[in-house]
Amino acid sequence: MTPAGSLLAAHDLHKTYGSTPALDGASFSVHPGEVVAVMGPSGSGKSTLLHCLAGIVTPDSGTVTYGGRELSAMSDAGRSALRRTDFGFVFQFGQLVPELTCVENVALPLRLNGVKRKEAEGTALEWMARLEVDDVAAKRPGEVSGGQGQRVAVARALVATPKVVFADEPTGALDSLNGERVMELLTESARTAGTAVVLVTHEARVAAYSDRDVVVRDGRCRDLEYAV
């Protein structure tokens, strides 16, 4: 039941918190290297969908399939490993480890995958240069601007060349100039590396950086690929 050629697909997801239905039959898919924007009103279930897709939240029913494997059939350890090796994350704010320098933050996913410190930080610096923040490498997150911090977070999400980057309102806290620069760098880097991006945003100008968009309303989203 997954659209042909999709890398990651969700089918008929339901998730209820207490008596609040957060997802009510949501279906979604993304192809390798594709940038898909997830839009919709506040509280419609966008973040919940993203968390289910990334295996952070388990849906009450429905399936999430990644590379032909069903996430719910995997062990917790298996899902964590998948998140480390295949997924990258960017959130609105508060995601960098405050005690580490920016370059250490960017290098973290590689370190967790067992890469030696020197090599990891070398690769991290390359990504920081690509995102134009190599000059803040030695600073701690508390000492850089919001826009710089967000680019550091994007570098961290991309450093381990994941197959999918999940971004939840990555530009939500930035002014439009900084927000657009972050989107430009994120989508360009992702396209160069062949990384798919699932981008939650309520801003149309941010969504315009995507290849395709999906609207979530009342916990449901119509992914046109399923409408065939």
Partner 1 sequence: MSIGHTLLGLLESGPRHGYDLKRTFDEKFGHDRPLHYGQVYATMSRLLKNGLVEVDGVESDGGPERKRYAITDAGITDVAAWLAQPEKPEPYLQSTLYTKVVLALLTGRDAADLLDAQRSEHLRLMRILTDRKRQGDLADQLICDHALFHLEADLRWLELTAARLGRLAEVVLP
Ligand X SMILES: Nc1ncnc2c1ncn2[C@@H]1O[C@H](COP(=O)(O)OP(=O)(O)OP(=O)(O)O)[C@@H](O)[C@H]1O
Residue 48 interacting with Mg ion (CB under 5 A): no
Nearer to partner 1, 29 or 105 (CB): 29
Q: Which stretch binds ligand X (CB under 6 A): 45-53, 60-68, 79-87, 207-215?
A: 45-53
Measured from the CB atom, is 65 or 201 closer to partner 1? 201
Are the C-beta atoms of residues 102 and 141 closer than 8 Å to each other?
yes
Which residues between 190 and 209 bind ligand X (CB under 6 A)?
202
Which of Mg ion, ligand X, partner 1, none does residue 17 bind to, with CB < 5 to 8 Å depending on kind? ligand X
CB 8, CB 197: distance < 8 Å: no
Q: Which residues bind partner 1 (CB under 8 A)?
A: 41, 184, 203-205, 207-210, 213, 215
Least distance to ligand X, CB of residue 44, Å = 4
Here's the x/- map for ligand X, 4-33, by CB under 6 A: it reads as: -------------x--x-x-----------
Compare residues 85 and 92 and give the one whose CB is closer to ligand X. 92
Closest to 108 in 3D by CA, of 93, 95, 124: 124
Residues 6+ apart with CB under 8 A from 35: 187, 190, 191, 196, 197, 199, 209, 210, 211, 212
Minimal distance, residue 158 CB to ligand X, in Å: 23
Angle at CA 14, nearest 5°, toward 213 and 29? 30
Binding track over 48-87 against ligand X, x by CB under 6 A: x---------------------------------------
Q: Tell which one of 2, 9, 34, 45 touches ligand X (CB under 6 A).
A: 45
213 binds, among partner 1, ligand X, Mg ion, none (CB under 5 to 8 A by kind): partner 1
Residue 37 Cβ vs ligand X, minimum distance, rounded to whole Å? 13
Residue 201 interacting with Mg ion (CB under 5 A): no
Beta carbon of residue 204, minimum distance to partner 1 (angstroms, whole number)? 4
Q: Which residue ranges make up the site for ligand X (CB under 6 A)?
A: 17, 20, 22, 40, 42-48, 202
